[in-house]
Amino acid sequence: MFELLRKMLGNDTPDEAETMTLEKAAGALLIEVSKSDYDQDPAEVEKIRDLLSRHFSVSVDDMEGFMKDVEDHSHQGTSLYPYTRFINDNCSNEEKYLLIKSLWEVAAEDGRIDKYEDYVIRKVSDLIYLPHSDFIRAKLEVTKAAGL
């Protein structure tokens, strides 16, 4: 019924849920953390690139286009819900833990963790139903490794 209505109204764009991938969801959340303190440090952007190439199938050659696509996608939405919903539907607790750890790595990349970065990571952790002990464990591992 909704598909018919969408066609009648001339909106043939694919549903957001159909175009979402794990890479896009994680990339958007990583970018949200890097922008949350209103100072997107170039080191944080490089860290995001490194994490995406290490943990996902984003090649170095495709990175520029992918980052632009993720950046555009994150500008379109004001909610974390589409990303966290996708993560909840498609990831194990271990994968969720690794995502939160990656978010902490981005936050710590500039040598400090801002209260706004902490807030966004805590919110994402809550939205993906990661146990609080795992949230704290990820934070402690990253801050210890970063010397913070």
Write the pLDDT tens digit of every residue in 104-143.
Answer: 999 999 888 999 999 999 999 999 999 999 999 999 999 9
Integer Cα distance of 120 and 143 in angstroms? 16
- Range with lowest mean pLDDT among 3-12, 33-42, 62-71, 129-138: 3-12
User: What's residue 78's pLDDT?
Assistant: 62
pLDDT, residue 91, reads 93
Residue 54 has pLDDT above 90, yes or no: no
- Of the pLDDT bands very low, low, confident and very high (cuts 50, 70, 90), residue 1 is very low
Cα separation, 72 vs 77, whole angstroms: 9
Supply the Cα-derived Rg of the chain in whole angstroms: 16
Name the fold adopted by 21-146.
Answer: TerB-like (1.10.3680)
Per DSSP, the residues of 69-119 read HHHHHHHH---SHHHHHHHHHH--HHHHHHHHHHHHHHHHTTSS--HHHHH
Q: Is the pLDDT of residue 8 over 50?
A: no
- Contacts of residue 87, defined as CB under 8 A and 6 or more positions apart, other chains included, come to 22, 25, 26, 95, 96, 99, 128
Q: What is the pLDDT of residues 61-101, one digit of tens each?
A: 667 776 777 666 555 556 888 889 999 999 999 999 999 99
